[in-house]
Structure 1
């Protein structure tokens, strides 16, 4: 795997830490800024909204810009947003910086995905995407718990400063590793807007986007409220929350590794298994959240199932529309973040309705079940679109008489 692909994964680690670290920062942010927990949770949804809008818009806007230039510009904008966020005097400014940072991150994700798959041959695209997406998993293993520790001991603003510094360092590494005008490993032409838009006009592609939304939304809703659930329902001391968040990340790291190995050979079966296990694990947590030992077992299972499907949904869209290598991952990024936007909102609504923190896991189970149904639909369509085997042709029989005449 080229070094540049691994460095793209490290860049996603830096920015992905910010995307998910709020799950451990929400209580401190809510207290510091004087907003309810559900209001602080909207910071996660605001970030996702920025990514939904930013991914396709910036993918089109930078279509003819050298990828290295676009990637570094997005990272610098992201870092600047976090500097302003660290200095934010109130909730409104922080909310605005989350949207701006998300737009830049969305642009980075889209161009990074297109860059990674262009650097490897067709049979390695799933593995390349798993390497890039592994940066996001490492963010949950290392970045999110580290951000939570920083928040508990030095304030949530320190975590924002740390993300800004990591992002700048990542931009410098990509500036060194990526050529200004990289060549592709699979002979892709330069991006062209009309060809890219035509490539999006495939119903099976949009079904794949729906699967992305449902499966990732099912995984993120419980994780978004996991810190308060652990302290208020499970009874875990706050000092141990980073360690349990790291368990989720370790499960995710294993899941994305397994998913990366299966993404190229058994994509739909991997999707179905992941969605089914995610549904069961979410339902189990909803019923047993007050049981500490069971919860500690279920948290890494949730991480495993949430990230098992990630390399599949990331790489499968390139196979469904190979002639749109820039817009395909951009819209897929939006699909991810539609799930990240909607399910935490639904989780917040269930909390505000008095159903308690475990209700967010029921939201995850219901969304996972919908993802499993959409995967079954995709499998049915794939079987219908599979070319039929050629008809068997009988070997003509030689008349007995003729054979005898020839011999004579």
Structure 2
């Protein structure tokens, strides 16, 4: 059982790595494939957008498939997509590889969570979900900075070869250790969507979308920012990414403690408000490294601190559809990543300076703060409460 959870965690780490690694090597990809950095950044947009849409759609379309077989086929497609990225002779082929890995990766992540939960007694489920989530967060802490260093030495393509090999090994272990898993009864997709009629629920997803859009307006182009504004080389960039990732993981704990201490509503407003500050100040810290380090910690920590508060808020606001709302919030998160990286690409293309990405991102986060303020204190009428029943069907 422990080995099975470990394998699922490794798979989640691999998926997280293939999504995040692009941001650290954008200048190399742009130079190698002969496209502007702003165009290369759309690789992040494409992945996040496909991931956001394909997650719930593919789960619905494959709801009757035996889960082990579906998991194995998803890994096969993911390996092929990663190898396609390694081989890609042009930007168009690399973009196609991102579509493939995003769609298969969304299934792998969702199945990793659901299979892990069904593999342990109920009293250990929350702990297992935390372990799987830690696998995804580890891609930020370890994968991205190590990827920057490896790409600087061996080229960016080797990263996708490594990911393909890692996923292939995971596939073989799953094939050997995992037994067939039958699908469960779930709420129909149409009934799931009706839950979004509740303005307080839908508003929470909008806050997540806007906050991640503001975040990725800069984060998707953080390597060009560090190179042009902070004048850093690969080694220092790797250190900054590692520090950011460690701050992000700490932020998850900080957000949870804050929510338990002062409540979810205040926590959400404080986190979103604080999150915008580093974005406005970072471009002015080129000669103030201690301040830069403090801002990176605040930025990194607040980027993940929102998740526990949002999850608690959704459970309190819509307990009857709380599991569904976690899925929707994950899609909103990736839609925000797609929007932010697209906006960031336009900004850096028009201004030729990543400094403006930070300021545009800060403005978008302030919009998230306004949306949070409205959502948290909005009192919907009973007619539009968006409640749904517990009816389920065999999918």
TM-score (norm 1): 0.81
Closer/same/farther in 2, CA of residues 65 and 170 from structure 1, 3 Å limit: same
User: Are positions 1:11 and 2:11 aligned together?
Assistant: yes
> Secondary structure of the equivalent of 1:381?
coil
In the alignment, the residues of structure 1 paired with residue 381 and residue 84 of structure 2 have an alpha-carbon distance, to the nearest angstrom, of 52
In the alignment, the residues of structure 2 paired with residue 381 and residue 18 of structure 1 have an alpha-carbon distance, to the nearest angstrom, of 39
User: Are positions 1:309 and 2:306 aligned together?
Assistant: yes
Match of 1:59 in 2: 59
Q: Which moved more, 1:327-336 or 1:213-222?
A: 327-336
Closer/same/farther in 2, CA of residues 355 and 150 from structure 1, 3 Å limit: closer
Which residues of structure 1 form unaligned runs of 5+? 184-188, 386-408
In the alignment, the residues of structure 2 paired with residue 123 and residue 312 of structure 1 have an alpha-carbon distance, to the nearest angstrom, of 22
Residues 235-384 of structure 1 mapped to structure 2, 5 A cutoff: 235-260=231-256, 266-289=263-286, 291-314=288-311, 316-317=313-314, 320-321=317-318, 328-354=325-351, 356-381=353-378
Cα RMSD for the two superposed structures: 3.2
In the alignment, the residues of structure 1 paired with residue 323 and residue 178 of structure 2 have an alpha-carbon distance, to the nearest angstrom, of 17
> Secondary structure of the equivalent of 1:181?
coil
In the alignment, the residues of structure 1 paired with residue 9 and residue 310 of structure 2 have an alpha-carbon distance, to the nearest angstrom, of 17
Match of 1:190 in 2: 185
How far is 1:75 from its partner?
A: 2.7
Aligned match for 1:232, one of 215, 228, 231: 228
8 Å CA contact retained: 2:212, 2:340: no
Match of 1:205 in 2: 201
8 Å CA contact retained: 2:314, 2:322: no
Higher-Rg member (1/2): 1
How far is 1:51 from its partner?
A: 1.1
How far is 1:4 from its partner?
A: 5.7
In the alignment, the residues of structure 1 paired with residue 117 and residue 204 of structure 2 have an alpha-carbon distance, to the nearest angstrom, of 18
Post-superposition CA distance 1:193-222 (Å, at most 9, x none): 254444454333221211221222222332
TM-score (norm 2): 0.84
In the alignment, the residues of structure 2 paired with residue 205 and residue 326 of structure 1 have an alpha-carbon distance, to the nearest angstrom, of 13
Closer/same/farther in 2, CA of residues 382 and 267 from structure 1, 3 Å limit: farther
In the alignment, the residues of structure 1 paired with residue 136 and residue 111 of structure 2 have an alpha-carbon distance, to the nearest angstrom, of 16
> Secondary structure of the equivalent of 2:20?
helix
8 Å CA contact retained: 1:248, 1:299: yes
Closer/same/farther in 2, CA of residues 90 and 81 from structure 1, 3 Å limit: same
8 Å CA contact retained: 1:9, 1:135: yes
Which residues of structure 2 form unaligned runs of 5+? 383-395
Q: Which moved more, 1:233-242 or 1:373-382?
A: 373-382
